[in-house]
Amino acid sequence: MDPGFHTLCVRRLDVPATNPPQQLPLYLSSSFSFDQLEDCIAVFEGRKEGYVYSRYGNPTIEALATRLAQMEGYGLTDEPAALMTGSGMAAIHVLMLSLLPRGGKVLTQSNLYGGTTELLLKVMDGLGIQPVFADLSDPDQTEERLKADPDIRVLYMETPTNPGLQCIDLATMAAIARRYDCRTVVDNTFCTPYFQRPLSLGIDFVIHSTTKYLNGHGTGIAGVIIGRDRPFVTGKVFQVLKLTGATCNPFDAWMVANGIRTLPIRMERHASNALALARWLMGCDEVSRVNYPGLDSHPTHGIALRQMYGFGGMLSFEVEGGKENAIRVMNRLKVARMAPTLGDVDTLVLHPATSSHLRIAKDIRESQGITEGLIRVSTGLEGEEALIADFARALGAG
């Protein structure tokens, strides 16, 4: 039967059978069709594997999620499960909603990324989920909080912290939390699974803003939730993810999939540049403090040595003269660029007090070392000499 010209144009193209492509195919389809209604019913009822709608699942997204789970679970006996989200913030939001009932509490640190703090205070608190802040570098204080309040069901951590680069002892925190039947969550964005694998230290869940190092090129926004409890991730977390519509899109997943193929060599260069710059800044008269866990002088250097395989590409430093001098220094940089993100191939600088932590109360900011003179640096892949020369010129030391 001749379908007619109009029908010929509209009808789905048949993809020819072929040997596997070298690159991950990009499935830019909002839905997936069936030849028989019985097959559609079986997939919807969970009796048969298949895809129906990209908010529920997509081959490109699922392939990436599986690989990220393998990376975070590297060395573990049982492979964890992973779900991609629309951003790192969406990953935190979805996981908190999945883990905490109304009236539940999350114990966390005061020196979080500003956006996470705002999410907990301005969104989660309005849903009846209350954040409780403590010094998570103090195991005794952490245990006292958990012992005193059985409503605390989640211990949420960021290590190294943003932007102070303090490290938390994850194995110790995981052991304490287990004693009180409390789930543990770690934001592993700064380290990636190349430099730190919290699941191997007893942590229950890991989240990433894959926008950062895992993508590595500043070309998209996405996030991921990875957990050792596969039934919980594929059940409760997946239900919250699909019903809130916080899913990743195939194109952003495809770009992250491209990025992770060069992750090890990129992370090595990020880290070597960061260490070289941190050491140089330590000797600069205009700099009063350098935060980098790879420095022997860093207060949590010992923790970093125990639980990290490398020290990462993030650092921060404080200039004398406060905000005015920080602005002057940043405006004079030529190789490093100003941008409110991190983990790209370019070196990027940010002034936390007027950007990422702008809406955090000043007294809280400053109690955590986020002063008006603090500059955060995400070191890129440039030549070490050119990078140091750029900061020397900007600081008036070269």
What positions carry a catalytic annotation? Answer: 55, 113, 187, 212
What SS3 state is found at 156? strand
Comparing CA positions, the residue from 312, 222, 315, 228 lying closest to residue 263 is: 312
What are the φ/ψ torsions at residue 311 (nearest 5 degrees)?
-100, 0
What SS3 state is found at 339? coil
Residues with Cβ < 8 Å from 44, sequence gap 6 or more? 52
Q: Tokens representing 315?
A: 């650092």
Dihedral of the CA atoms 327, 328, 334, 336 (nearest 10)? -30
Beta bridge partners of 109: 134
Whole-number Å distance between alpha carbons of 323 and 372? 5
Residues with Cβ < 8 Å from 117, sequence gap 6 or more? 110, 360
What are the φ/ψ torsions at residue 239 (nearest 5 degrees)?
-60, -45
User: Residue for token digits 């002034």?
Assistant: 351
Whole-number Å distance between alpha carbons of 1 and 39? 26
Whole-number Å distance between alpha carbons of 214 and 305? 22
Beta bridge partners of 377: 315, 349
Element (H, E) at 10: helix 5-10
Yes or no: say if 84 and 242 are a contact pair by the CB < 8 Å rule. Answer: no
